[in-house]
Amino acid sequence: MEIYNMSSEFNYPTEIKGTRKLYSLFKGIKNPLEVISENHKIAGDNYYIKANLNNKNFIFSQDKEFTEYILKQNHKNYYKSEIQSITLGKYLGNGLLTNNGKDWLKQRRLIQPGFSKTKIANLVSIMEEEIDQAFQSFQPEQDIDLYDFFHRLAFNIVAKTLFSSDIGENQVKELGKIITEVQEVFAKEVRLPFYSKILKALGIIEKTIEKSKKSKAIIQEVLDKRKSSGEEKNDLLDMLIQTKYEDTQLPMSDEQLVDEMLILFIAGHETTANALSFIFFEISQNPETEEKLKKEIADEGEMVFTSESLMKKSFTSNIIKEAMRLHSPAWAIDRQALENDRFKEYSWPKDTLIILYITGLHRNPKYWKDPDSFIPERFDDENAKDFTYYPFGAGPRLCIGEHFAMMEMALIIRKFYKKFSFLSYQTELEKKALVTLRPTSLKGKLVTI
């Protein structure tokens, strides 16, 4: 085996420096997708940038092998970066999204069974009820912003599947408002390290922490109500209350339960609502896709809304996958090196921040034919499982809610297109990259079939 002397000199990928670096650091705050994509065009699939302000090393990658090395082969050397574990953790606590190491693994093992295909299948009727109720308010030829509509719907679905009927509408609204405000502050803090000092001085960070405490208090209320009622609701909250750690046979503490519920709340509605907006936009721009989808809905007959039909490979699932390839809500994955490391000709020191640019991977012409075109049929390929495709991440930290999200989105799409059509007023989508990638709106007209 080749001996490599790490202490000599690290061999980073192509460096972005000079005026381009300054441009990247400042313009990247407002429009990270544009800047990162441009940098990859200039420097290739891997590049390096040093942020002198905080003396941090960043490696950006849209290379499949490099991504798999970080997320799978050598995942033990990589933690979620301090961007998530510390900066976001101070607002959201220690749930699956922000946790690292043994604590994370312990929680993951405990929660995983609640997201098995069988458990998710049991939630279809709760989802259906929420969707039907939301669609009842539709008027013929109504003008609508689907982005707002899907945020409310996905939020309510998560509230009901997590908490059954134990959470009131006002509490749901309040939680939604707090979660959006926390995200806005967090995004500023991460993009503008020097700005976080200003935010701190102005008391904004303190205020935001207070808001997140309020959101945890709402969840604690729901938890207290459930525990004192002694009722079994067969929802995710029941499952979380009843699970016990293998080693101690003790249940999760209330504090840990609340943190996990908050994370599931955020992850469970935010990414789904964004993905649905992108999916409906793409369907509205591709009439032949809509026609094929409606045919599948008709052909499925009475089975159309069953968990078996929703979870199997179908044209509906191809549409979801292709829209999430073009517009992945998880647009980047960040990791931090615990020790010095190397891959192929590159090497880097511990604490280097690795940004795996999922948006770039999903549109990299090296891996995709016609990368910017919407072609759901490409997922019919029998090799589709080996595609360079990571909307839910990869490796041990693959998103725990993947089955939940796929089933929920398939159900919403089929319920909608069985009765309605959507004419978009927009031919371009304006996107905003916060913690997740989201459109700013999706305005159009509902058409009843």
Q: 7 falls in which pLDDT band (50, 70, 90)? A: very low
Residue, of 228 and 145, whose pLDDT is higher: 145
| Bridge partners of residue 447, in order along the sequence | 421
- Can you tell me the distance from the alpha carbon of 186 to that of 368, in angstroms, rounded to the nearest whole number? 33
pLDDT of residue 187: 72
Q: Judge whether residue 290 has pLDDT over 90.
A: yes
Q: Judge whether residue 49 has pLDDT over 90.
A: yes
pLDDT of residue 6: 42
- Can you tell me the distance from the alpha carbon of 86 to that of 373, in angstroms, rounded to the nearest whole number? 38
Give, in order, the Cα–Cα distances in Å from 94 to each of 76, 84, 121, 185, 264: 19, 10, 28, 19, 12
Residue, of 29 and 344, whose pLDDT is higher: 344
Q: Judge whether residue 416 has pLDDT over 60.
A: yes
| Bridge partners of residue 353, in order along the sequence | 58, 336
Reading the block at residue 111, the tokens are 């929660």
Unique residue bearing structure tokens 């499949």: 64
Q: pLDDT tens for residues 340-351?
A: 999 999 999 999
Count of positions (residues) in the chain: 449
Is 445 strand, coil or helix?
A: strand
Cβ(195)–Cβ(242) below 8 Å = no
- Can you tell me the distance from the alpha carbon of 100 to that of 78, in angstroms, rounded to the nearest whole number? 9
Adjacency order of strands within the sheet including 56-61: 14-15, 46-51, 56-61, 353-356, 333-337, 78-80
Is 123 strand, coil or helix?
A: coil
Reading the block at residue 426, the tokens are 């927009």
Q: Judge whether residue 1 has pLDDT over 70.
A: no
CB atoms within 10 A of CB 96: 20
Reading the block at residue 75, the tokens are 């995942």
Is 23 strand, coil or helix?
A: helix
The DSSP symbol for 160 reads H
What are the structural domains, with CATH classification, of the chain? 14-448 (1.10.630.10)
Mean pLDDT of 229-236: 82
Residue 418, burial from CB neighbour count under 10 angstroms (0-12, 13-18, 19+):
middle
Lowest mean pLDDT among 42-56, 327-341, 359-373: 42-56
Global pTM value: 0.91
Residue 33, burial from CB neighbour count under 10 angstroms (0-12, 13-18, 19+):
middle
Which stretch of DSSP H or E encloses residue 118? helix 117-121
User: Where does 52-189 show beta strands of DSSP type E?
Assistant: 56-61, 78-80, 143-145
Mean pLDDT of 130-158: 94
Contacts of 117 (CB under 8 A, 6+ apart): 311, 403
Mean pLDDT of 357-376: 98
Q: What's the count of helices (H) and strands (E) in the chain, helices before strands?
A: 19, 13
User: What residues are designated binding site for heme?
Assistant: 399
Q: Judge whether residue 63 has pLDDT over 60.
A: yes
